[in-house]
Structure formats: structure tokens, C-alpha cells
Structure 1
């Protein structure tokens, strides 16, 4: 069983392949996973394997943990590039997400004004006004789109909403008017008897059309880096990722590639 669970509210800092020195924030249970997706490549494992009855950390506890950590790091003169909300699932599921982001902006401005605030999100809650408005307040709203095709996206990401569709996500992302970062995992392999590969020409061409329509300020292109809960998955080579990135670059959009 593969899993990397985060057992603290605030953890790190760690070196991120895509963002530099990152202080992580986990708004989900410390002993399990809570997510509206159940991605076959998730480093936290499958949802069913890590169910929890633990309460979510409340706003006050998050504030205290974050302030304590930022004070400590500043006292040690530790460089910090970004404060990243990720953790054991989907951070926007926390009912106090908006207030916690407000607190984070205040603490960041006090202790690390040069650091950015990032939220890694599967985007499924962007349709909620409070979540959308809050994501617009952070420096880096990083939103997932792993395929232009429903069948592929559902096979890879396994959203728990029966109403999930790529078209709906694209319309929600358009509300950002390009002021967001699009994140796509490229991989291939087999899962539950079905072959998958979102790096084929058909997949990439259709995905590029959505990138063109969304015109995000940056696209993060990456592949598997750690053990995955689905065992028959394969990395896409760095060379292939760079070729995809070159095609994004032809659209005038900056790319960040992590092989």
C-alpha cells in the first residue's frame, strides 16, 4: 500500500519540484485522506484505504500552528519561496477555507512578505462563490486538468461527483480570466483492465485546444515522481514532457516542467 500522509497542520519546508522552498499546509485529517477526487497516481493513496473519523483542524489551530512555524523559520533566517496548501486531500473542502486563507495572507505579510501563497486544487469546488473568490486572493491558484476527454479524466482522477465533466471545469476556469496556473499530470499505463495514456497525439492536441481557450498565465506539466497506489502506471519521459511544453510555449504561455 502506497501512501505519504502529512501528520501535521504545517509541515516542512520541503523542496518542491515546481515551486522551490515550500512550507506545506494540511487542512485535512492528519491520519487519513479526504478528497473529492481519488486519483490513481495520488501519493496519499486511495481514499478507501485511509478513511478517518478525525476532525479537521479549526481555523484557530491552523493560525497558531502557522504563526509558530513562520516565527521559527524567520528567526532561523530560513528562505521561504511559497506557502502551499495541499496535504491529505482537497484543501478547498475545509468549511473554514476562506477564513484560513485570510489569516494566511495576514501572517505571510507579517513574517514572509516575499513568499507566495499557493493552493493546489482539483478545481471541483470552483463553482462555489466563496471558494472562487478566495482562490482569487492567493498568488497561485493551481488547478488540475489531466485530460480534455471525460473518459480519460474520470479514469485518471476518479471524481466523486457524477456530474463532473471537463467542459464544466473549463467553463469554471474561464472565470479566472487567465489569472491562474493550470496543472496537468501526464502518465500512461493500465488501471482496472483499462489502458490509459494522456500523452498521445489525440490527447495532447485536444488538451492544447483547451489550454488555448483558457490562456492561463502558466502551465505546470509533470509526471509521476513517487510510488503510486495504482501499480501499473508509467512515467512519461522528460523529453516527451518538454516537447509538450514547447507546444504550449508556441501559444505564448509559460510552462514549468517536472520530469
Structure 2
């Protein structure tokens, strides 16, 4: 079974397809996965197979480790394009996420003021006021919206708690454009069910929702690494280009990662 379990609290820098030279910040345990989704395409594997036993890094541990790494990069390189909250699951689950964002902004301003701060999130915690306000303060507030089809969400994203897509879309509108929508397009099968979301059946209602959200950018991508469900397949370049063209026709900026 394919898995990528990241060190905690700092990993990389790595070269991101979408963000450039990215220093990773993992607010989750280093020995497993903690997420409110259980996506069939997740590079960290299925939740049930990688339950962490170690605790979350503390706010102070994150701050100290980040400052040490930034000092080293300032002296020896490379220069980061972005400081990215990602890692072994959903970063906004950390109880001190908002305070850690403030610490990170201060350290960024001290060492690499041109670097952006990004958060990769599945948007399940945006109803918590402190998370919502913290996300409004980062440069790249990148939130997942793979589809607006409830059945597809249950089959592919597999939320572990309450998740109502209409409610999520309404909350995404509250960012008033200070949000980047990130969507995985793929094909293949999962547990005997077709998971192709590249057709008009899925793209058209998704695009209507994206227009309503009016994000600053849309990031569309497909499978890049081995997935825990081995029947999944990449969307083709032609399919992604077609979807990107539809997005541009609506006057929205889009980036594509093949």
C-alpha cells in the first residue's frame, strides 16, 4: 500500500508542481495520519491503516523548528517561494492553528518577506471562526472542492464527520474571493464504482458552484503519485485542458498540473 508519511513539524523544502520551492509545515503527528477526509487517492494512505500514536507538535515546537530551518535557509539556501501547511492530514485540526499562523507570518516577515504562506486544506474546519479568520490572513488559502455531487464525495473524499456540500459552498463564498479552489480530477474505479469526474455531469454543476464562490484562482490537477486504491487513473492532458478552458471562459484564473 502506497504511503507518504511526512516528518513533523518541518519537512523539505520540496519542489511543488503548483507552488515552487516549498518548505512544508506539518502540524500533525509524524507517525501517522489524522484527517477529516479519507480520500481514496491520498498519498498518505487510508486513515484506518495509519493511526498515529505520537502527539501533535506544540505551538512552541513548531515555532522553534520553523525558525531554525529558516535561519539555515537564510544562510545556505535555497530561498523558499512558499511556506506550506500540509503534511499528514488536515492542518486546521491543530487546536492552535490560528496562533501558529501568526507565528509563521512573523517569522516569514523576518527571514523571507517575499515568501508566500500557503495552507492546503479540505475545508471541513472553515466553520470554526478562528480557523476562518486565520485562513483569511494567509497568502494562498487553498481549499478543496473536488465536486458538488454528494454521492461522489461519499465515495471518493469519504468525510469522517458531518459534511454537507451546499453548506460548504455557502461558507466558501464568505471568503469573498480570498480563496483558491483546488480540485482533483481523475478516472478509474474504486470498490467497483466509477470515479471519473471529468465529464459534463460533474464539471458543469462544479463550475456553477465555483463561479458563485468567485475564487482568486482555481487549481486543477490529477494523480501524480501512487495511490492507496490502485484502480485509480490519471485524467488526461486533453481532459484537464478542456476543463481549464471552461474555467477561463467564466473569467476565472486557472492553473493546471498534469
Conserved 8 A contact 2:8-2:28: no
1:11 aligns with 2:11: yes
- Say if 1:238 and 1:258, in contact at 8 Å, map to a contact too: no
Match of 2:49 in 1: 49
Contact 2:220 / 2:240 at 8 angstroms: preserved in 1? yes
Q: Deviations over 1:25-73 (max 9, x none)?
A: 0000101000000000000000001011210000000001000000000
Q: Which residue of 1 aligns with 2:204?
A: 205
Residues 103-252 of structure 1 aligned to structure 2 (within 5 Å): 103-161=103-161, 163-252=162-251
Q: Give, in whole Å, the separation in 2 of the partners of 1:52 and 1:166.
A: 28
**TM-score w.r.t. length of structure 2:** 0.98
CA shift for structure 1 position 242: 1.2
C-alpha distance in 2, partners of 1:3/1:59?
26
Could you tell me which runs of 5 or more consecutive residues in structure 2 were left unpaired when the two chains were aligned.
Answer: none
Contact 1:187 1:234 in 2 (8 A): yes
For residues 252 and 244 of structure 2, what CA distance do their matches in structure 1 show?
9
Structure 1 spans left out of the alignment, 5+ residues: none
How far is the alpha carbon of 1:17 from its aligned partner? 0.3
Aligned partner of residue 177 in structure 1, secondary structure:
coil
Q: Secondary structure at the match of 1:83?
A: strand
Q: Indicate the SS of the match to 1:220.
A: strand
Corresponding residue of 1:65: 65
Query: What RMSD in Å do the two structures reach over aligned CA positions?
Result: 0.8
1:69-128 CA-to-partner distances (Å, cap 9, x unmatched) read 000001014221000000000000000101110000000000000000000000000001
- Number of residues of Structure 1 aligned to a counterpart in Structure 2: 258
**TM-score normalised per structure 1:** 0.98
- Equivalent-residue separation in structure 2 for 1:205 and 1:102 (angstroms): 38
Partner of 1:82: 82
Deviation, 1:178, is 1.2
Moved over 2 A (4+): none
Distance (Å, rounded) in 2 between the aligned partners of 1:101 and 1:190: 38
Conservation of the 8 A alpha-carbon contact between 1:27 and 1:94 = yes
SS of the residue 2:113 aligns to: coil
The Cα of 1:165 is off from its aligned counterpart by 1.7
